[in-house]
């Protein structure tokens, strides 16, 4: 019994390492939220884009974070994704990156097929909005 548990633990560690490697290698920002919209994963791309590390955002309410992306404008998209279980259309949002530069951020929301539901947000820097005004949704 102990040997079987040890083998299973090693297999789980390998799977976790593999998935962490995949998330780390993706250049885009990938954020996983649970069904209550708390941050469960925040990859290196998200840290590079927004300037916050995983340990600063883990288990925090995503829509309460202040990091240059007007997160409240994504709430309806995330709620719809959880409700329908389907990926929605991408959204372009004006944002400010960690260097204070205005940019356009393309956000895609997909349902997370994990045990407890949630969503996966894929965020990529798009073209510069050009205007130095306030951030908003397009």
Domains and their CATH numbers in the chain: 28-126 (3.30.450.20)
Distance CA 80, CA 121 (A): 13
Q: What is the pLDDT along the chain (138 residues), one digit of tens a residue?
A: 788 877 888 888 787 777 666 655 667 899 999 999 999 999 999 999 999 999 999 999 999 999 999 999 999 999 999 999 999 899 999 999 888 989 999 999 999 986 678 999 999 987 655 544 444 554
Strand blocks (E) in the chain: 29-33, 39-42, 91-96, 102-111, 119-125
Distance CA 54, CA 60 (A): 10
Distance CA 2, CA 8 (A): 10
């Amino acid at each position: 019994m102990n040997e079987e548990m040890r083998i299973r633990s090693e297999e789980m560690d390998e799977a976790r390492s593999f998935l962490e490697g995949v998330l780390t290698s993706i250049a885009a920002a990938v954020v996983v939220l649970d069904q209550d919209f708390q941050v469960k994963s925040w990859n290196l791309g998200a840290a590079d884009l927004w300037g916050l590390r995983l340990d600063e955002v883990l288990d925090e309410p995503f829509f309460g974070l202040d990091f240059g992306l007007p997160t409240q404008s994504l709430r309806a998209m995330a709620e719809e994704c959880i409700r329908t279980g389907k990926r929605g259309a991408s959204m372009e949002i004006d944002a400010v990156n960690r260097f204070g530069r205005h940019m356009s951020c393309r956000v895609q929301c997909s349902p997370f097929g994990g045990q407890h539901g949630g969503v996966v947000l894929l965020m990529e820097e798009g073209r510069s909005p050009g205007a130095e005004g306030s951030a908003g949704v397009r």
